[in-house]
Structure 1
Amino acid sequence: MGTFEPTPEQIAAQRLYAEMGLSDEEYQRITERIGRQPNYTEVGLYSVMWSEHCSYKHSKKQLRKFPTKAAQVLQGPGEGAGIVDIGDQQAVVFKIESHNHPSAVEPYEASATGVGGILRDVFSMGARPIASLNSLRFGELDTPRVKELFSEVIRGIAAYGNHVGVPTVGGEVYFDESYEGNPLVNAMVVGLLNHDQIKRGVLEGVGNPVIYLGATTGRDGIHGATFASGELSEEDEKQSSSVAIGDAEMGRRVMEATLELIQRGVVLGVQDMGAAGLTSSSAEMAAKSGLGVELNLDHVPQREVNMSPYEMMLSESQERMLLVVAKENLVTVQEIAEKWGVHAPVIGTVIQEQQYRLFYQGELVADLPVASLTDEAPVYEPPVEEPAYLKELQQEDPAPFAEPESYAEALLQLLQQPSVASKEWAYQQFDCEAQGNTVVAPGSDAAVVRIGDSKKAIAITTDGNGRYVYLDPEVGGKIVIAEAARNLVASGAQPLGATDGLNYGSPEKPENYWQFQHSIDGMAEACNTLAVPIISGNVSLYNEANGKAIYPTPIIGMVGLIPDLDQVVTQGWKTEGDLVYLVGATLPEVGGSEYQKLRLGRITGRPPYIDLQVEQATQQAILTAIRKGLVQSAHDLAEGGIAVALAEACISGEQGVEVALASDLRPDLFLFSESQSRFLLSINPADREAFEGLLAEAKLPFAQIGQVRGDGAFILKYGDHALIETDVEKLSAAWKGAIPCLMN
């Protein structure tokens, strides 16, 4: 086997580097680094490893602003998923991942493979997946195209998650014209393991075999990483060759085989073949280890004939893992692989020299320094420019409209807005109860999952508001962290850590990168103030369709610990006669709100102001009250403000309420304000003194605004006027029926 010389055909093919996503400067950098022109296969390797999706070349500098370490963090960014300690030598593993561009082209297949991919990220760490969530964005739910995307994405998520037996316990769905051409499909998975089961994606032991575990390799998904690192065009939407096809049954078997191998103690290193497939998994494992690898592609299981090295290395066929084991454990690997019906050939060897070598039909077809593929990928900090629209919007009056003629009708209309309305149409398709540990299913502030047969539980949420970030990236960035943490606190959990799904437009446009940079600043400040480290995540840039970017949309997945199931709280009223409290100050803040969009048909002004010190103090006081057993129900105030929160608490608790609100504000600007750092709570009257004393000690604004009614009436008074008198049944029908009505 000698050193190869590129053929004339390969030399001609090198001119295609631009079509693979490499710039002229990047190609020149490659030739200078390796001292020659790369052949066609090598150009393909660089094109995927230096893509935005794999190298984070436009985002890496900004991501360094996030806090990533804390006492509870066992694994931060850099591996398949992050890990936080939950005590008793147990830990939870979690990460969020996007599948945006593929979902615009093949919504069913892409959303299913998105779930499969994030499952592999988690169980590659040694954890058994115990819960999944999603965060979805679509255009307005009034066109056949958007309805089809929504329906097929939900169907794909359900098909994969239900089959592998991992409960889908929560998530969020928003609809806005901004996502018309470029939907967002972000999936999150949480897993459980013992500390001694943690595995990482590394090579170990020179001479040890490298094993391919899982399904066969086909031509699906080739250049998926580069496809996800560019803007969507009309031509892209007609093609599906860049979308990998999943197989949930094979995914289940690969998961079980991998976990059994880890539990048997034979795995030294493991990583899933995700974006960029065999290339990224093998190169990244080598880079993290300071070692090299040689792969023989003749041994790669193929389901299509005459596959070239380029095709095998760039394929993103699903349900595949890469393992390193000691030679003496090969028999055990083969036995377990046969038991689960998955392929497990030896396809390579760990080498001391830090080179990345590929052999095919007896020839050396790639020979590159490992670091050149990974650590030496370019890092950019593009120019920034404040978007021209921003000052104009921020100076506009956010409420240039009169009061509604009927507040009852205004509330009903808000409850029917697809972004506010019940998402039961979607989550009823999910198996929320798989594994039998779901304590709080979709529909409350956060999902709650019991840890095994203990009294311990974790609360999980996904959250994001692209409108706020669009109107003020830094403030919007702060709010997304605070809102996710509030969801956990309202469920009785102490936030432990977060994973970020950062969805933005092209970083090569200065105004987009300005949004990205400033929202990261806001998120980082909130993470530091609220003591929530970012332990894993995903960046998805180039979310544009035909030149128009989505709203800058950071999504946060967050996990918190509930030490005792008796401390779990939900948003619905519990007992007739319980006292209802509003905690936090309400300002006339409707910029970027659901109410503003309902009345104006667009958003303008500024998003709500947030004081992170007040947020931290409020969250701590509410959590303390819950831990002391003083709170019967808790709901954070978000879209639609206090009016919508009251309706949701009534609907969830199947009970009514009578409240009297007092303010100098115009009624609608109070009722539908989305001011931050606010909670709606109910308590037992016997706990009034202790509860109010705790809030007073924390110096928080609060008011006892009413009582829970057992007769199903919804009565809202404002000053001397009864603004809304209706019944919960009517509110529930509007809220629950909105999306089914639109879909049917």
Structure 2
Amino acid sequence: MSLAPADYGLVVSELGRDPTPAEEALFENLWSEHCAYRSSQPLLSAFDSDDDSQSVVVGPGDDAAVVALTDSTYITMGIESHNHPSYVDPYDGAATGVGGIVRDTLSMGAYPIALTDSLYFGSFEDEHSRYLFEGVVEGIADYGNSIGVPTIGGSVDFHPDYEGNPLVNVACVGLLSSERLVTAEAQTAGNALVLIGNTTGRDGLGGASFASEDLSEDAETEDRPAVQVGDPYTEKLLIEANETLMDEELVEAARDLGAAGLGGASTEMVAKGGLGARIELEKVHQREPNMNALEILLAESQERMCYEVAPENIERVRAVAERYQLGCSVIGELTESGSNYVCTFDGSVVVDVPAEYLADGAPMNDLESVQPELEDQSDLPDRALETAFESVLASPNTASKRWVYRQYDHEVGTRTALRPGDDAAVMAIYECETGLAIAAGSNPLWTSAAPYDGARAVALETATNLAAKGAQPLAAVDCLNGGNPETPEVYGGFKAIVDGLAHACSDLSVPVVGGNVSLYNDSASGPIPPTPTLAMVGTKDGYDAPPCGFTGVETNTDTEAGTILVVGDRALAGDRAKLGGSEYLAQFEGSDAFPGPLDSEDVPAFVDTLTAVANAASTLAVHDVSHGGLAVTLAEMVTDTGADVTLSCEGTKASAAELLFHEQVGRVVIETTDPDAVRTAFDGVTPVHEVGQTDGTGELTLSVNGETLRYDKSTIRDIRSRIDRELD
């Protein structure tokens, strides 16, 4: 590890001397892109983190955001990436990503109740991509299942540009009462700093700097020491110990030990509180002999928390740690405002720097950007409708992800009211009789085709997923993934997804309360697509939600037909369907413009109306239309209840393929017993088209422009189970 020459000069100027080796390493890590957001921070002001309802309690800048459901019941939201570690060591890289975001939740005083994982890999046909895929899923499953936190949603996407650099984005939602809230802001000089959890070893050294540079061709061997090793059973003990500490009000402030280890956590706590600190590094409980000061400061060993504790509570905190068989070290104390951040080792001073300068003094980068060029030529492939239907349905991007989520314990904790496999999961917040819907994901095909409009589409689709379950969107966190920002074209695409996501969330009146940035996702195979993962929550009265599959109306043993409506489809209304960014073009090649989402002024009314319609007693099923278009949505909805659907191109500008496979967001399919009520609700908002009826056949009969496709549910299941078949 070494500090860049320009940064070294700034540090020398500030300190009036050369930094010690430990100080130089601290600055190198805390001023890295991963910690300081030097290339992205100038862009993030585009996001609005406040809301009109004043439900945002803690916004960006802490370990996790805090949002109020009621005056006394809060949730936390956090998201992080573990991309480079998951390439070098997919199992431990993904597992420790889960552990880190869970500890971010603990540090706010919350109990973790739900996880989502959004995963991005190279081509499914590539053997190495499959190796990474299987290892990441196993790591997430083993860690999440062991700590008893349900993984209830997420996404999986395959794209050749991730082959040299997969993405692992994990979000966590926690629950707490208002009186338990703590933050990472150090409170009072004279209070102790107490380290609780696993022992400190040499694993994860330099992890922050490792995450701030492109992956090299030999990263899997050379960078393995920078990957942490997780211990979920210790994490489970830490979760329960944290509960006890919060219940007994023994903690004044808390910080998870993540990037840059103890040095990062303690410096940030002190800087936030405007205080100083004096830390005796030899007092840290260690796993390995002969560790030096730099190793103790920067090791990213997992399952560790740093707490601020009042002197009179230290012995009780020790007793709690002993009860849960966790290590506990009183490593130092907070000092008066204006004091430096000081670390000693065996009596010698190894760090003596201004805490605020160390934590927040990194200069921002002023980088050149080039606006992305967008496709405007239409060159569409001509494929038989049956071939196209089966190819798109079988694509790993649109196929069933059952192989993934069945490995996760998604019901532990008894709060999961709507399980994975639907548009959104719903968690039961019994404390305030509220259903909390959660959806997360992105679409690299969209953001590759049109970074700005693709990111807007991601936001609207995520909100639509919540509204389809009858939940009103409340707040969101994002994980913004990009390649090397020093490449103008890459930085231009990254700027575009930031602006697109920010503008769409503003249209939705959804505050973006926190997030994560991961840049330098670049390798010998090139940069990743700009990838804005969004995790959004919404609320509803009660815990019931309409399913995404057709249900019919049961009367004794018969099933009455429900009416099938397509809501919001501009192609059915006569506009030309655009196939840019679609799975159809990914399968068969070709080019077209990206369709783009709804106009800004139409977004709020669409989401609000859909939320109300989804909660109507006459609504039997609702499913968002997005990846794979209307063809995939209708196929996914077939259960024991089938459907007879007719789509007509007459009077429209769309071909049969365009009608079935375009991916304009802001659309849903609704099965209802009262179609007139749905038409009335959406009148003046967006078009509603009646396309068919449900029946008891268990088949999808799909007629498009006079050509008919017919598939029963078992055939559809077989086509969509490619991942299951090839990985089981």
TM class by smaller structure = over 0.9
The aligned counterpart of 2:555 is none
The aligned counterpart of 1:62 is 43
The aligned counterpart of 2:229 is 245
Q: Is the 8 A contact 1:472 1:607 kept in 2?
A: no
The aligned counterpart of 1:366 is 351
**AA at the equivalent of 1:130:** I
1:304 maps to which of 282, 288, 306:
288
The aligned counterpart of 1:9 is none
The aligned counterpart of 2:465 is 487
1:290 aligns with 2:274: yes
Pairing of 1:291-690 with structure 2 (within 5 A): 291-352=275-336, 353-387=338-372, 390-391=373-374, 394-399=375-380, 401-402=381-382, 404-405=383-384, 407-452=385-430, 455-546=433-524, 548-566=526-544, 568-575=545-552, 576=559, 577-584=561-568, 585-586=570-571, 587-600=576-589, 605-650=593-638, 653-663=639-649, 664=652, 665-684=654-673, 687-690=674-677
The aligned counterpart of 1:274 is 258
For 2:711 and 2:308, the matched residues in 1 are separated by: 64
Q: Is the 8 A contact 2:377 2:591 kept in 1?
A: no
The aligned counterpart of 2:698 is 712
**AA at the equivalent of 1:611:** D
Local SS of the residue matching 1:274? coil
2:718 maps to which of 719, 733, 738:
733
CA, structure 1 residues 605+692, in 2 after alignment: closer, same or farther (shift >3 Å)? Answer: closer
**AA at the equivalent of 1:346:** V
The aligned counterpart of 2:678 is 691
For 1:271 and 1:629, the matched residues in 2 are separated by: 46
The aligned counterpart of 1:12 is none
For 2:185 and 2:640, the matched residues in 1 are separated by: 52
Residue-by-residue CA offset, 1:569-593 (whole Å, 9 max, x unaligned): 2211111411110001224121110
Shift of 1:130: 0.6
Q: Is the 8 A contact 2:427 2:543 kept in 1?
A: no
**AA at the equivalent of 2:635:** A
**AA at the equivalent of 1:151:** E
The aligned counterpart of 1:207 is 190
Instruction: State the TM-score, normalizing by the size of structure 1.
Output: 0.93
Shift of 1:524: 1.3
For 2:668 and 2:59, the matched residues in 1 are separated by: 31
For 1:143 and 1:641, the matched residues in 2 are separated by: 25
Local SS of the residue matching 1:83? strand
**AA at the equivalent of 1:654:** D
1:82 aligns with 2:65: yes
CA, structure 1 residues 699+364, in 2 after alignment: closer, same or farther (shift >3 Å)? Answer: closer
Q: Is the 8 A contact 2:476 2:512 kept in 1?
A: yes
1:157 aligns with 2:140: yes
Q: Is the 8 A contact 1:630 1:691 kept in 2?
A: no
Residue-by-residue CA offset, 1:306-340 (whole Å, 9 max, x unaligned): 11111111100000000011100111101110110
For 1:658 and 1:607, the matched residues in 2 are separated by: 27
Shift of 1:111: 0.4
Local SS of the residue matching 1:91? strand
For 2:95 and 2:253, the matched residues in 1 are separated by: 26
**AA at the equivalent of 1:655:** T
Q: Which runs of 5+ in 2 are unaligned?
A: 553-558
Shift of 1:620: 1.4
Q: Is the 8 A contact 1:355 1:367 kept in 2?
A: yes
Local SS of the residue matching 2:371? coil
Shift of 1:414: 1.2
For 1:668 and 1:498, the matched residues in 2 are separated by: 34
Range with greater deviation from structure 2 (241-250 or 432-441): 432-441
Local SS of the residue matching 1:680? strand
Q: Is the 8 A contact 1:408 1:726 kept in 2?
A: no
1:178 aligns with 2:166: no
**AA at the equivalent of 1:574:** T
The aligned counterpart of 1:30 is 11
Local SS of the residue matching 2:328? coil
Residue-by-residue CA offset, 1:127-169 (whole Å, 9 max, x unaligned): 1111111000001111221111111100000000000000111
For 1:115 and 1:452, the matched residues in 2 are separated by: 25
For 2:496 and 2:404, the matched residues in 1 are separated by: 33
Shift of 1:189: 0.7
For 2:344 and 2:671, the matched residues in 1 are separated by: 67
For 1:111 and 1:604, the matched residues in 2 are separated by: 36
Local SS of the residue matching 1:238? helix
- Supply the RMSD in Å over aligned alpha carbons: 1.4
Q: For this pair of structures, how many residues does the alignment match?
A: 709
**AA at the equivalent of 1:425:** W
For 2:699 and 2:25, the matched residues in 1 are separated by: 65
Shift of 1:203: 1.5
Local SS of the residue matching 1:385? coil
Shift of 1:454: 5.7
For 1:603 and 1:66, the matched residues in 2 are separated by: 32
**AA at the equivalent of 1:310:** L
CA, structure 1 residues 264+553, in 2 after alignment: closer, same or farther (shift >3 Å)? Answer: same
The aligned counterpart of 1:104 is 87
The aligned counterpart of 2:150 is 167
Q: Is the 8 A contact 2:438 2:535 kept in 1?
A: yes
Q: Is the 8 A contact 2:34 2:208 kept in 1?
A: yes
For 1:361 and 1:699, the matched residues in 2 are separated by: 70
Q: Is the 8 A contact 1:476 1:607 kept in 2?
A: no
Local SS of the residue matching 1:312? helix
Shift of 1:453: 6.4
For 1:453 and 1:280, the matched residues in 2 are separated by: 35
The aligned counterpart of 2:219 is 236
The aligned counterpart of 1:50 is 31
The aligned counterpart of 1:703 is 689
The aligned counterpart of 1:142 is 125
**AA at the equivalent of 2:677:** A
Shift of 1:675: 1.3
The aligned counterpart of 2:556 is none
For 1:481 and 1:523, the matched residues in 2 are separated by: 6
For 1:249 and 1:278, the matched residues in 2 are separated by: 21
